[in-house]
Chains A and B, each alone.
Chain A
Amino acid sequence: MLLNSVILVLREVLEAAMVVSLFMAFTTVSQQARSFLLKAILLGLIAGGAYAYFLPEISNWLEGVGQEITNTIIHIGIYVFLMGFLWLISRDIVLPNRLVKGMMMAAIILAISRESAEIMLYISGFRSDHFLLQSVVSGSLIGLSIGVSCGIFLYHLMIALKPAAAAKFICVLVVIVGSSMMSQATQFLIQADWLASTEPVWDSSHIISEHSLPGQLLYALMAYEATPTWSQIIIYLTSLLLMLIVILSGRFSRAISHV
């Protein structure tokens, strides 16, 4: 039970830890206070609690695919806020601008709410079984600490870079994480049958299995699928391209305004 808890919690925490440490590094690099990020984390946990609490009802919405659609909206939301963040900073609108803060907070709240809801549901399932609860909670704590350790590493890796390089690195990671959100959203739409399911384009499970540790890490980083469908690939690449266009158009308009 213990190892299951470790893996399950780690999987969920990794994704949220990535978004949080990206933004933590961004605030550090731009030499701003980061108390608003802590606020966002707390709000995200509260939102996650609410999501977990109302999940039975949410699941019944829309002929039983409410959960998939809610998850889709959360993932698209994260993508949109990350895109807004990129749009602002590529136009030199930086911290402590309130809009930038708002985008960062919204993305963190959404990311944490979905991941924490699953953890809370998982742990709450064991509340009557004290024997299992103990190992589940300790496993979850271990998973949490590993996820947070990864976040700390990423954070220190980024702030060790020169500020300009760090900003670029953060942008690249935001683009990768953002696009992976859209890929996951597509996955949920297929599961809800709102998008047609097609045959997988390839099967790379013999190279990197989704069960393996690298597979899990890649999943957290860029929603790695061993058997993706065309719609997933197309939406992933389109989202990636859109974010790049947003960054480049910002650079371009800035260059013009400077002339």
Chain B
Amino acid sequence: MKSIRLYLLLILVATLVLVMFVSLLKGYQSSIETAQQLFDERLINTAELIASAHIGQNTVDSTQSPTSDYLFFQIWDANGQLLTRSKTAPHIALSQFEQGFYDVNFKGFRWHNYVHPDPQFERWIIVGERSDVRSSMAEDIVLATILPAFFGIVVAAIVIWWLIGTGLKPLKTLSAQLSSKQADDLRPIELAPLPIEMSQLVKIINQLFWRLDQSFQREQRFAADAAHELRTPISALQIHLHNLRQTYGDNTEDWQLMQAAVDRMGHLVNQILMLYRTAPEQIAAKAEAIDLYKLASEVIARDYQQFEKRQQYIELIGESAQVYGHLFALETLLQNLLNNANKYAPSKGHIVIHVHPTEKGVRLTVEDDGPGIPPDQYERIFDRFYRYQNENSDLQLPGCGLGLAIVQHIIEMHHAEIKLTKSAFETGLKVIIDFPAVMNK
């Protein structure tokens, strides 16, 4: 992924380097030129100085002349006779006798010479300076001003890196807030102080959250209200149906089908109410330590009739295990799982329930030897009103498709995890639920 920070750093430092380089190069060139001009003027002054110091035509003892390693002079008369020279200077003329500057090689160095005419005594004064010394002197002067700028770039890069980080902080905070949000937490994001560039983004996100929250609430209210309102007419329907069957006898199949449909409708409404009434706040408020093993045995005992009816063999294995949760919700969870197992396991089939403590908490598994579910359907069966239909069986089972959706809902409220796999039997489904050791309050 591309990092905004890295991109900004690279492009800013590159800009800085290029702009600085071009301006420094210009500055360097003109500074060096100025320095060279200065050195040239000094050379002219030296020549004039020598001209005024060596008066007369006599040949001076050259060894006593002021000398240095990077400066020399020669004085020639008009006839091309060497009058005097500095110790370092050669005996031959290093340049032609014409006023001006010349570059020559001598003694293993490059020399910058000035030929100075001295009309008063009709002689030529040649003064030379080592080019490399001149340029390194000039460069030293210029570099002393330029080099700090280059070190400055390194410092600037570090500062820019830090500043970009600070500038991007609201973005980081926003993404941290968004990623730490719970799936059902639709409260607006609060960021202060909010940069102008991001206010629109945060506004849109918050609007989205608000709309989502509203529609969730509407859906919940509608479903709960509808279910609640439906309960009374359904109860009435059930009573009237009962009375009608009493009056007219109930031997026909139509009566039985009608009874089943009305029962299913009642069940559906109860499930919907269950789903929307177990809100997370309720769980947190009414949470208590519950022995899951004991609860499972109670639920099995209560619903034992339905297993007996299908001659199913049901087994509870395990030991006492404490779970922190909502009693009614956990009861519903077990009931739903056992109902499903009862529904899908064949007559004379097997159902096994395990409850035992693990390192992380408590594990509950429910296995049956029914037809099972193909793995690609595992995700979907938690969807509301989704019912897995086995194409090979014409088994039409009663149910509304809310059971596992409610299971999922309860599991989320308890911060537990659910997994589906194949059961230990030849066919069938195994539901594994892991409860955390200590539930977050």
Tell me if A3 is interfacial: C-beta within 8 Å of chain B.
yes
A212-234 interface (Cβ within 8 A of B): 213
Contacting residues, chain B, for A152 (C-beta < 8 A): 10-11, 14
Are B14 and A153 in touch, CB under 8 angstroms?
A: yes
Tell me if A176 is interfacial: C-beta within 8 Å of chain B.
no
Residue of A nearest to B28 (CB): A3
Q: A3-B28, A152-B10 are in contact. Are A146 and B17 (CB under 8 A)?
A: yes
Q: Name the one of A146, A153, A156 contacting B21, with C-beta atoms under 8 angstroms.
A: A146
Tell me if B13 is interfacial: C-beta within 8 Å of chain A.
yes
Tell me if B291 is interfacial: C-beta within 8 Å of chain A.
no
Residue of A nearest to B20 (CB): A146
Q: Name the one of B17, B136, B150 contacting A149, with C-beta atoms under 8 angstroms.
A: B17
Are B139 and A149 in touch, CB under 8 angstroms?
A: no
Query: Considering only CB atoms and an 8 Å cut-off, how many residues of chain B contact the other chain?
Result: 16
In the docked arrangement, what's the CA distance between A153 and B14, Å?
A: 7
Are B22 and A213 in touch, CB under 8 angstroms?
A: yes
CB distance from A166 to the nearest CB of B (A): 15
Main secondary structure of the interface of A (DSSP, over half): helix
Contacting residues, chain B, for A3 (C-beta < 8 A): 28, 139
CB distance from B34 to the nearest CB of A (A): 15
Residue of B nearest to A149 (CB): B14
Are A153 and B139 in touch, CB under 8 angstroms?
A: no
In the docked arrangement, what's the CA distance between A149 and B10, Å?
A: 8
Are B150 and A142 in touch, CB under 8 angstroms?
A: yes
A138-156 interface (Cβ within 8 A of B): 142, 145-146, 148-150, 152-153, 156
In the docked arrangement, what's the CA distance between A148 and B7, Å?
A: 14
Tell me if B18 is interfacial: C-beta within 8 Å of chain A.
yes
Complex interface bits, B16-48 against A, C-beta within 8 A gives 1, otherwise 0? 011001100100100000000000000000000
Tell me if B143 is interfacial: C-beta within 8 Å of chain A.
yes
5 shortest interchain CB distances as A-B pairs: A149-B14, A149-B17, A152-B14, A146-B21, A149-B18
Q: What are 24 contact pairs spanning A and B, CB under 8 A?
A: A1-B136, A1-B139, A2-B139, A3-B28, A3-B139, A142-B150, A145-B17, A146-B18, A148-B14, A149-B13, A149-B15, A149-B17, A150-B14, A150-B18, A152-B10, A152-B11, A152-B14, A153-B11, A153-B15, A156-B7, A156-B10, A156-B11, A213-B22, A213-B25
